[in-house]
Amino acid sequence: MSNLPYVVGNWKMNGTRALLTEARSIDRASGRYPKVQVALAPPFTLIHRLQEAVQNIGVGGQDCHAEESGAFTGDIAAPMLKDAGADFTIVGHSERRSMHGETDEMVKAKAESALAAGLTVIVCVGETEAERDAGQAETVVSGQVENSVPRSEDAPARLSVAYEPVWAIGTGRVPSVGDVAAMHRSIRAKLVEIYGDAGTEVRILYGGSVKAENAAELLGASEVGGALVGGASLSAESFIAIVGAASPDQQE
C-alpha cells in the first residue's frame, strides 16, 4: 500500500444527493495535495454516485457483511461495495461494535471478506473511557488488533488500522499527543508481531474529534499515518484543512 498520509472521511448516516456538492469540492481541492491520499466513506446509498462524481479521491463503505451473498436482510456484501464503485471499506467502527454487537471475530471475518472482494480495508480499534481510566487502554487495543485484523498473505499491504478512542469520537475531546504516539507504537509492535516485517507497511490512522485546529499536531505524532475523520468530513472547508495539515509540503 502507498505510504502517503491517508485522510479518510466517514460520513456515517449523513448525506443525501445534496451532499455530493461537498464531495465535489473535496475532490477538486484534494488535487492540490498530491502527497496525501484522500478518501470518503459515504452511506451505501451514495457510493455509486459519489464515485462517478470524483476523480482524485477514493470512495468506500462504512461496513460490509462477512458473507458474499445470502439471506441477510438489510446488509451489504463486500462484492456489492466493489460493484458499486468502492475501493475500500471501514470495518469494526466502535458504533458498529457497540450498537450492533460486533465482536473482534466478526470484524476479522468482514475484513477478510473485503480483501477477498478486492477492496482495501480499514479496521477500527479503540478503548472506552472506563478502560483508559483503569489503565487498560493498551491491553484492550492490542487484543482488538490481535483478534480483528485479517491474516491472508496480502493483508498487510492492503490494510490500515484506525485507532479511535471511543471517548474521543464526536465529543470534541482528544488524547494528548503523547498518548496517541504511545498507542500507535503499541499497535505497530502488535502488527509486527502478527505480520513480521510486513507489519511496518500498515498505516495506522488516528480518529476521534480530529478538526482543522488539532490536525497538524495529531498527524505529526510518531507512527500516525493519517486520520479517520467523522464530523469534520461533512464540510469541504473543514475536511480540506485537515488534508492540508497532513500534506508533507505543508509541514516542511
Catalytic residues: 93, 164
The residue among 183 and 228 lying less far from ligand PEP, judged by its C-beta, is 228
Using DSSP's 3-state secondary structure scheme, residue 65 falls into strand
| Distance, CA of 163 to CA of 157 (rounded, Å) | 18
Largest CA distance in the chain: 53
Q: Distances from the Cα of 28 to the Cαs of 57, 208, 251, in angstroms?
A: 9, 25, 21
**CB under 8 Å to 247, separation ≥6 — which residues?**
5, 33, 35, 36
CB 206, min distance to ligand PEP, A: 9
Instruction: Say if CB 218 and CB 210 are below 8 A apart.
Output: yes
The residue among 219 and 229 lying less far from ligand PEP, judged by its C-beta, is 229
The residue among 63 and 195 lying less far from ligand PEP, judged by its C-beta, is 63
Short-list 11, 8, 82, 74, CA closest to 42: 11
Cell match 480499534: residue?
Answer: 125
Structure-block grid coordinates of residue 174: 482528544
CB 172, min distance to ligand PEP, A: 8
Cell match 466517514: residue?
Answer: 10
The residue among 5 and 195 lying less far from ligand PEP, judged by its C-beta, is 5
CB 168, min distance to ligand PEP, A: 6
Binding site for ligand PEP (CB under 6 A): 10, 164, 169-170, 207-210, 228-232
The residue among 150 and 207 lying less far from ligand PEP, judged by its C-beta, is 207
Cell match 488516528: residue?
Answer: 206
CB 211, min distance to ligand PEP, A: 8
CB 2, min distance to ligand PEP, A: 21
